[in-house]
Amino acid sequence: MQYLLHNRHRLELWYELLPPERFTLEGFNLLQLVDVTTQEILSELKYDLLERDVLQASDRLEQIQEKLRVLFARPALQLGIAAYDTRKKAFVDFGRKINHSFLTKQMQSQELTAGFKQLYARLLADRQPLVLEDVATSTSIQEDIRQQILRLGIHSAILALLPYGPDTVGLLELGSPEAGDLDEFDMELVKQFVPLFAVAVKRNAEDLETRIQAVIKEKFTAIHPTMEWRFNDAARRLLTQQEDGNRSAEMEPIVFEDVYPLHGSCDIRGSSTARNEAVQGDLIEHLTLARQVLKKASEYQALPILDELKFYVTKNLRRLRQGIISGDEVNIYDSLRTQAEPLFEYLAQNIPELRLTITHYWQHIDPRLGILYHRRRDFEQSVTRINDTISDYLDQEETKAQQMFPHYFQRFKTDGVEFNIYVGGSLVQDKPFDMIFLKNLRLWQLLVMVEITRRTHALKAELPVPLETTQLILIHAQSLSIRFRQDERQFDVDGAYNIRYEIIKKRIDKATVLGTGERLTQPGYLALVYAQPREATEYLEYIDYLQDRNLLETNIEELELEELQGVKGLLAMRVKVQL
């Protein structure tokens, strides 16, 4: 025995001295197996869902989906998550994820049907999960929803609200391609991890809101860095009053007195006309394509609805060629979407000879917007290109101008770009203001407007729609006061006398020359509007300087303007830019 013990790893020796066939073993074994899969998966889900941004990371969501597949023993299980937007009163998709939410995917691709509204209302009212053991035969949902879910390859599903306290923060969706894979018995498992998803969705919503607010503060705040010191002082005084026991204390008015305004605008000439022509052209082409389908369909099947739709299309084509009126775009597209296009789907399914014509129709329709969108896309791309060119250059030069002397600057994009500048000693803390800084900014403004004129002129040849811009400067020699309006979070001029400046600023873009009716602003020209002849003296010196630099033509037009609503007696200068 000692010999064997000293050679315990020599198996052949044991077989030789103790042949197995010479022995018989009798008895029994007791084994206890514990399935810890469920608890382990739930524990892993807990840690996964506690991590930040887990619902926005596609790889992490893929891992969560795989764990749910193990938990339910369903290798093809699909996971969908939707957040509940309390402002919109609707479920919204997260975006970057492994599977679009079953419901929100359908909402994104077509109009919200009455069936979806009822389903949402039922889920929110009952706050009970909806179990669809067999989608094809379920009586819990309407036929249109049933068919849309089946088209996704989902044959059994569970839809469970994600509650967070008394509120609903989202919707959890589980789907399987096999009928009967998910049933009422699975709800015991679902209830165990629903709170984990609810916490994750809630935190995701809070993080998203924080990021949104950070972007808003960075990009859109009305508190310009130049003026931030003034707001800090007012907030500090407010806190001091509240700490002293004055709980009803309010923020003091934020007013900057004795500041000088500069206003400039770059408007896209004829943008409204160009937009209407683009809409008109797209509508005519869309209706022409629809008429081709209807005409072809009449050759294969006689349906009264085809004749009625052909009459509608032909009538609108005839009228559109004479011009477009308000409401045409919405009414025509609504009729095509609700009446013609459902019929096209029926015809494509039942008349093979029409499929090529109908396919040709759909190839011209924008899949995201559901409309023909050729000329308007070109127009909007052209407007965007012009606005971006102006804005980028203006922002670049504005950064340099701030180095000259800090000032308040705001810029607006519409069909073109306009900007306002306010400069003065009251805006800046611990820095003396001199009129030389104002003169410097006025010359800077002229130089910037000349360069914008040249850049947009050069850009015209590259645009899908060759749009032109007009440039305008409003000269205002007197200082004024501006006040921060907390309701709109922006600055406005303060006082009745100063309001006249705002009125003029809003109306001069449509100004015409007295006696001729010609628009003051013209492509390739720089127009300067003023009220008193003495206000133009300083700018004439700057213009003379720019003419010497060959930036402006030598001829200067001195003009009187037609009376505007509530404004009369305005004067203007107009000079051509060297392009």
CA distance 406 to 208: 34
Tell which wins on pLDDT, 99 or 126.
126
Instruction: Report yes or no: 70 and 38 within 8 Å, Cβ to Cβ.
Output: no
The answer to whether the beta carbons of residues 262 and 445 sit under 8 Å apart is yes
Which residue in 483, 462, 448 sits closest to 577, CA to CA? 448
Using pLDDT thresholds of 50, 70 and 90, give the confidence band for residue 309: confident
- What is the structure's pLDDT at 122? 81
Query: Cα separation of 319 and 316, whole Å?
Result: 5
According to the model, what pLDDT value does residue 97 have? 42
Q: What is the pLDDT of residues 469-528, one digit of tens each?
A: 999 999 998 888 888 877 667 777 777 667 778 888 888 888 899 989 899 999 999 999
Poorest-confidence range of 80-94, 358-372, 557-571?
80-94
Q: For 239-290, what is each residue's pLDDT tens digit?
A: 767 767 777 877 788 888 899 999 999 999 988 889 989 988 998 989 899 8
Q: What is the pLDDT of residue 470?
A: 94
pLDDT in tens, 12-24: 888 888 888 888 8
Q: Rounded CA gap, 470 and 177, in Å?
A: 61
pLDDT above 90: percentage of residues in the chain:
26
> Residue with structure tokens 């305005």?
570
pLDDT digit string, tens, across residues 27-45 = 888 888 877 778 888 888 8
Quick check: 217 pLDDT over 60? Answer: no
| DSSP code per residue over 22-64 | G--------------HHHHHHHHHHHHHHSTTTTT-HHHHHHH
Element (H, E) at 503: helix 496-507
Burial of 167 per CB tally in 10 Å (0-12, 13-18, 19+): exposed
Three-point CA angle 373, 378, 379, nearest 5°: 100
List, for residues 401-417, the tens digit of each pLDDT value. Answer: 998 899 989 888 888 89
Q: Are strands 468-474 and 525-530 parallel, antiparallel or unpaired?
A: parallel
Task: Report residue 216's pLDDT band, with 50, 70 and 90 as the boundaries.
Answer: very low
Which residues have a Cβ under 8 Å from the Cβ of 176 and sit 6 or more positions away? 74, 76, 77, 78, 154, 155, 156, 157, 182
CA distance 338 to 368: 17
User: Are 118 and 142 a contacting pair, CB within 8 Å?
Assistant: yes
User: What CATH superfamily is the domain 37-211?
Assistant: GAF domain (3.30.450.40)
Supply the pLDDT for residue 315: 87
Considering only 54-58, 141-145, 304-308, which range has the smallest mean pLDDT?
A: 54-58
Ordered alpha helix ranges (H), 127-186: 143-151
> Does residue 218 carry a pLDDT above 70?
no
**Rounded-to-integer distance, Cα 278 and Cα 62, Å:** 44
Buried b (16+ CB within 10 A) or exposed e, 183-200: eeebbebbeebbebbbbb
Residues in the chain, total = 579
All residues at 6 or more sequence positions from 109 whose CB lies less than 8 Å from its CB, including other chains = none
Q: For residue range 322-370, what is the model confidence (pLDDT) as tens digits?
A: 888 777 788 888 888 888 888 888 888 888 888 888 889 899 988 888 8
Once rounded to an integer, what is the mean pLDDT over residues 231-238? 76
pLDDT in the model for residue 96: 42
Burial environment of residue 403 by CB neighbours within 10 A (0 to 12, 13 to 18, 19 or more): exposed
The secondary structure of 548-565 as a DSSP string is HTTSEEEEEEEEEBPPBT
Predicted local confidence at residue 520, as pLDDT: 92
The phi-psi region of residue 577 (left if phi > 0; otherwise alpha if psi is between -120 and 50; otherwise beta) is: beta
pLDDT one-digit tens code per residue, 91-118: 766 544 445 566 665 555 455 456 666 7
* Euclidean distance between CA atoms 82 and 104, whole angstroms: 7
Q: What are the contacts of 103-110 at 24+ separation with CB within 8 A?
A: 103/159, 103/171, 103/173, 105/152, 106/145, 106/148
Q: Is pLDDT above 50 for 220?
A: no
Whole-number Å distance between alpha carbons of 69 and 64: 9
If you classify domain 259-269+378-577 with CATH, what class do you get?
alpha beta
In angstroms, the Cα distances linking 334 to 226, 283, 291, 329, 374 are 49, 12, 16, 8, 18
Give the pLDDT confidence score for residue 153 in this predicted structure: 85
Of the candidates 448, 441, 492, the residue with the CA atom closest to the CA atom of residue 472:
448
Locate the domains of the chain by residue range.
Answer: 37-211, 225-252, 259-269+378-577, 271-374
Residues with Cβ within 8 Å of residue 340, at least 6 apart in sequence: 290, 293, 294, 309, 313
3-state DSSP assignment of residue 510: helix
pTM above 0.75, yes or no: no
CB 130 within 8 A of CB 165: no
Q: What is the pLDDT of residues 430-465, one digit of tens each?
A: 788 899 999 999 999 999 999 999 999 999 999 999
State the angle between helix axes of 143-151 and 114-126 in degrees (0 to 180), rounded to the nearest 10: 90
Rounded to 10 degrees, the C-alpha dihedral 386/391/394/400 comes to: -140
Query: How does residue 212 score in pLDDT terms, banded at 50, 70 and 90?
Result: low
Are 491 and 414 in contact by the 8 Å Cβ rule? The answer is: no
The pLDDT mean for the chain works out to 84
| pLDDT at residue 488 in the model | 66
Residue 506: Cβ within 10 Å count? 12
How many CB atoms sit inside 10 A of residue 472's CB? 25
Query: Which is more confidently placed, 445 or 565?
Result: 445
Taking the CA atoms of the chain, what radius of gyration do you get in angstroms? 36
